[in-house]
Amino acid sequence: MAKTLYPKVNSSEITDESIWLSRRAFIKTTLSTALISTSGSLLSKELNALKSPVLRLPKHGSLTKYKDITRYNNYYEFTSDKKLVHHYAKELKTEPWTITINGEVEKPLTFDIDKLLGMMSIEERIYSLRCVEGWSMVIPWNGFPLAQLLKMAKPTSKAKYVKFTSLLDPEVMIGQRRPILNWPYTEGLRIDEAMHPLTFLASGIYGKDILPQNGAPIRLVVPWKYGYKSLKAITHITLLEKQPKTTWVDANPDNYGFYSNVNPKVSTPMWNQRKEVKIGEVRKKRTQLYNGYGEQVAHLYKDMDLTKFY
């Protein structure tokens, strides 16, 4: 099934994508033999991720190399130097880790992250991540829809927004020793955006556990919005009646919005959004409205003026 969604790869250009695909094919065949499928314990997390269903909206071309995904990062808690993030983030301890769902819910929940991941069925999603700075990557995430977790906590009828909070730990997150942003990093979504089936919590990339620089142990992925909405290292998810303040809007409201839907027609003083460079490619390509996910999400914004910055 996955096969038909992918372009053929030349044997002369062995990429991360082709290696990953052949591993997936191998695991699929292996799994179909009774020997392994009867013994679930033989499967590591990685294998589980690779045999899971894939959802790919085929609009963004080939996958970005694993090396680029893990060596070119935005993570201001460590440094604003994208190429150094992975170096500092190595120090982050992601075990033990708990995630709390609270606020306007009938059943506030706190999970140990490993327990939570063990309970959820892990899917794969291949999404484009479009940074507001004008670059993008195509990343195969492993994880589960945020809606599954929110439903477990039973949002009350007052829950209109969801706020996400990242880790506060200035000992290790050395960027937090300076007040460049209002720490901890927070973000927010409207409840219908949070419940949308494309909105995802990721704990893996390319079938491997997600690394600290990409938001370990768990991060948000909202593919139709600029990358800063996709908050890393989540500790709290809080349902609210009112729209929360968010870190980037607080810091620079002329250039960052609460909605931040990808829109090539709306520029801000700092950025013109018409085009983007996909990391690993040379030629710029046109940015798509809602990052190409309009068919799935445009209905959420039918009352919004698409020439305005939100």
Ligand X SMILES: Nc1nc2c(c(=O)[nH]1)N[C@H]1C(S)=C(S)[C@@H](COP(=O)(O)O)O[C@H]1N2
Interface with Mo ion, residue 131, by CB under 5 A? yes
Q: How far is the CB of 190 from ligand X (least distance, A)?
A: 19
Binding window for Mo ion (CB under 5 A); candidates: 15-23, 74-82, 152-160, 178-186: 74-82
Tokens standing for 41? 């314990």
- Partner whose binding site includes residue 214, from Mo ion, ligand X, none (CB under 5 to 8 Å by kind): ligand X
Q: How far is the CB of 91 from ligand X (least distance, A)?
A: 15
**From the list 50, 63, 75, 138, which residue makes contact with ligand X (rule: CB under 6 A)?**
75
- Mask: binding to Mo ion, 223-262, rule CB under 5 A, as x and -? ----xx----------------------------------
Interface with ligand X, residue 163, by CB under 6 A? no
Pairing mode, if any, of strands 234-240 and 98-103? parallel
Ranges within 230-259 binding ligand X (CB under 6 A): 230-233
Interface with ligand X, residue 111, by CB under 6 A? no
**From the list 204, 227, 244, 292, which residue makes contact with ligand X (rule: CB under 6 A)?**
227
Interface with ligand X, residue 203, by CB under 6 A? no
- Partner whose binding site includes residue 73, from Mo ion, ligand X, none (CB under 5 to 8 Å by kind): ligand X
Specify the residue, 27 or 113, whose C-beta has the smaller distance to ligand X: 113
- C-beta of residue 241 within 8 angstroms of C-beta of residue 160: yes
For 108, the enclosing helix (H) or strand (E) is none
Exposure string of 181-210, with b = 16+ CB inside 10 Å and e = fewer, is bebbbbbbbbbebbbbebbbbbbbbbbebb
Q: How far is the CB of 219 from ligand X (least distance, A)?
A: 7
Interface with Mo ion, residue 128, by CB under 5 A? no
Tokens standing for 124? 């794969």
Interface with ligand X, residue 125, by CB under 6 A? no
**Alpha carbon separation from 54 to 21, 143, 151, 195 (Å, rounded):** 12, 11, 22, 19
Q: How many residues bind ligand X (CB under 6 A)?
A: 17
CA distance 61 to 80: 28
**From the list 144, 161, 185, 293, which residue makes contact with ligand X (rule: CB under 6 A)?**
185
Interface with ligand X, residue 129, by CB under 6 A? yes
Which residue number has the CB closest to ligand X? 227
CA distance 267 to 43: 48
- Compute the half-sphere exposure of residue 133: CA atoms within 13 Å on the CB side of its CA: 11
Q: Could you say which DSSP state residue 75 is in?
A: B
Judged by DSSP in three states, 202 sits in strand
Furthest CA-CA distance within the chain: 60
Q: Hunting for tokens 């445009």 — which residue is that?
A: 298
* First-residue to last-residue Cα distance in the chain: 39
Which positions lie near Mo ion, rule CB under 5 A?
74, 131, 227-228
Which positions lie near ligand X, rule CB under 6 A?
73-77, 129, 131, 166, 185, 214-215, 227-228, 230-233
